[in-house]
Amino acid sequence: MRNGSLFEVRELQVCYGDRKILQEVSTDIPEGVVTAILGPSGCGKSTLLRAMNRTLELIPHARIARGVIRFRGEDLMSHPAGPHRIRKRIGIVQQRPLPFPMSIQDNVLFGAHYHERLTAARKREIVETYLTRVGLWGEVKDRLKASGGALSIGQQQRLCIARSLANRPEVLLMDEPCSALDPASTAKIEDLILALKDEVTVVIVTHNLAQARRVSSRCLFFLAGTLAEQGDTGQVLTAPCHPGVRAIVSGQEG
């Protein structure tokens, strides 16, 4: 299944009320590579992510007006697994780190413990595994029962990634995961993305072209709710065909 299409998006149109946020979006997101979703603010990048793990329907007035998203060949909206299982399989990391009001270890176990009953030994194993995975274990192993909110912002974001990974998702969607972070924390998260890409497909929304170049091999470039350009990251960011994309790429480069 490696490098097959994980998601197929066909003529997707998403509206908030009467306002069209995404129009005529068609793309394939392959498995096993990092895909970046680029574009200026408000162009519908986050909306696409939400549609992909069925959290769009949690937002009042938001709806898929037309088109279809298929996940492993099956329509996401009528997927037999239902929204809860789908959200477990398709994890998301939000822009702002949002640790839940509980201990560090309970944060990691929040989803995992819901989806399967875990023994105490298995819980410890999961906490250690995923905190290690995000490089947080050494920093917090002596205070696993401390509140997740007591960590620094960068640590909180890595805790949130650990929380999503502990669900063992097949895809990890990341919505500008570094926008609230300092450069050192950003570098840690980017390293993590590169380390993760062999076990989980990553789709990352970013407005930072340099970041897209560092972590992704494919990219989708959105402008005003439409998919303006897609392809290999290197090609899209050096020689785009779309004039609007070219303007942004050369503007930021020059």
Q: Is 26 in the site for another protein (CB under 8 A)?
A: no
Among 85, 141, 143, 145, binds another protein (CB under 8 A): 85
Smallest gap from residue 87 Cβ to another protein (A):
4
Smallest gap from residue 67 Cβ to another protein (A):
22
Among 23, 53, 206, 230, binds another protein (CB under 8 A): 53
Among 35, 55, 216, 230, binds another protein (CB under 8 A): 55
Q: Is 87 in the site for another protein (CB under 8 A)?
A: yes
Smallest gap from residue 58 Cβ to another protein (A):
6
Q: Is 188 in the site for another protein (CB under 8 A)?
A: no
Cα 184 from Cα 236, distance rounded (Å):
27
Q: Which residue number, 97 or 225, has a Cβ lying nearer to another protein? A: 97
Smallest gap from residue 113 Cβ to another protein (A):
9
Tell how strand 218-223 and strand 34-38 pair up.
parallel
Smallest gap from residue 31 Cβ to another protein (A):
20
Stretch 90-119 residues interacting with another protein (CB under 8 A): 91-92, 94, 96, 98, 100-102, 110-111, 114-115
Smallest gap from residue 137 Cβ to another protein (A):
21
Which residues in this chain contact another protein in the complex, by CB under 8 A?
A: 50, 53, 55, 58-60, 83-88, 91-92, 94, 96, 98, 100-102, 110-111, 114-115, 160, 163-164, 167
